Structure 1
Amino acid sequence: MTARGWFLFSLMGVIWGIPYLMIKVAVDALSPSFVVCARCALGALLLLPFAIRQGGLPRVVRTRWRPMLAFACIEIIGPWWTLTDAERHLSSSTAGLLIAGVPIVGLVLARFFGSAEHLGPRRLAGLLLGLAGVTVLTLPHLTGGDTRSLAEVAVTVLGYATAPLIVTRHLKDVPTLQLTAPCLALAAVVYAPAAVAGRPDAMPSAQVLTALAGLGAICTALAFVVFLELIKEAGPTRATVFTYVNPAVAVAAGALFLDERLTAGVLAAFALILTGSVLATAGPRAARPGTSEPLPAGGLVPEEERGRRPVS
């Protein structure tokens, strides 16, 4: 993966490592529909002016509305409500662990739909190592949830794994802002009636309002721009591997800001997650010029073959 891809990957690991906590804070005082509507509305308000300024937004919506509608439903409208509702009964660490299954589900779906993306033993081992790391990290902190909540998170995982495939197949050439802003606006409109019906009787606390602002500005507006650029840079399977890093970010934040103790198990989980992420996002080895044979260790072309290097 390129340096730009690693930067986007690292940023997503942090940005989508914090919404579980924010959702938990918000949903304790507000209905899931209100949380989703507020999050989407704020994200759309922040991104729409930039999308309109790029020009051509009406044409993009008119010509690509079908895959855009599918992306909005599968990535936002469905999964965000199911995840938010599930966190009324599940701990954030449980949700993080279950969401970490996205790369595995995405891998299965990509192969089922005939993806040409190469998946060798190294990347498969990385996916499994990352999942093992998340398990080690979150297992001591799990709390139980009912069957409905677990099913809701499973629906979220399926949506998160499917949406990047839609982007790669049908929306890769659509500017990021012109894809994200209309989808968020649509989701806000869909949830507006339920949000109005379930609005709070009194002004929420400053903590809840801060959580909503963070969900809308950081975990929605900024996160979607970064996420879609990451899909275009690294492909749908590699792009979702950052979900392995999200629970690690939550534990690190607890250690830094809440004086939570770092145990040997946590450190081992970090090692597994980082190693798995590196392996799962690694690209194929470069080939010799004019052949499919891989280069020798170090990636250097032998001197006698340098003259046959094709023109870029």
Structure 2
Amino acid sequence: MSITRNFFIALSKNQPLNSAAKKWGLKLGAGKMVAGTDIESMMQTVEQLNADGISATIDSLGEFVHTKEEATKAKEAILQTLQAIQSHDVHGHMSVKLTQIGLDVDPKFCLKNIQEIVAAAANYNTFVNLDMEDYDHLQQTLDILDVLLKDYENVGTVIQAYLYRSEKDLENLQHVRLRLVKGAYKESVEVSYQEKKEIDDNYLKLIKIHLQSPGYTSIATHDHHIIEQVKAFVQEKKISRDCFEFQMLYGFRSEMQKDLAKEGFSFTTYVPFGKDWYAYYMRRLAERPQNIILALQSMISK
């Protein structure tokens, strides 16, 4: 499966295919994992999730940003999404990739953009999560988070369990709201665990550490074995359900999402939308073979 994973990760980085995909609409099965190409269609999805007792973290998709003009356009789209969250009165918050708003163009320009976004979100009493990208962007993301935390409380980030350094990063962010994930990028053996059991073991370890820290914990996984272990741990340690939530991606294990919400656990679905869906979708295909089958079934049914 590593060959398949590497193949789809390579496709996710192909800019010409990404550009072409914007003209396709949600094809190749992407419509099952991406909640529309515009704000209104995405909001319909979020409203339905809310009706099922589920919150949303919304990602206005965008990658391959190489100019300040492209980054500014992406920032404006994020600000419009924040306004829509407010005007539609839905339960949700934003997830933002810093490369989308200029991290690779000019870090100072990116910082100014994310400060504007977090300030606007604070006015709406809305949280902003800084999505964690590949290892090359990790320290830059944490550095920007550190600057933001000096002025704002409504911002957090993601810790990826497959990285060796994640436990140390977690120690430095004990008071911060964090989304804990296993990790979706291909990283070298020099910086990351490669075996599934090592990643799973470290993931559960990090979850337990942050659940006992002051910061809110978002446990983002589709792994029902991990979820059951978390349930047992919070019951054993008498950890309040107000201190954490489960998260899953839109289009995955929808019934389990509803069941967890019905059980009284806080639940948030990661809801991506927009015309720039291609790279996100390729990474989802890289993660699990079931996703490839889903895409093929969709193509055949057309």
The structure where helix makes up a greater share of residues is 1
Q: TM-score, normalised by structure 1?
A: 0.25
The structure where strand makes up a greater share of residues is 2
Which structure has more relative contact order (CA 8 Å, sep 6+)? It is 1
Q: TM-score, normalised by structure 2?
A: 0.26
Q: Tell which structure's C-alpha radius of gyration is larger.
A: 1
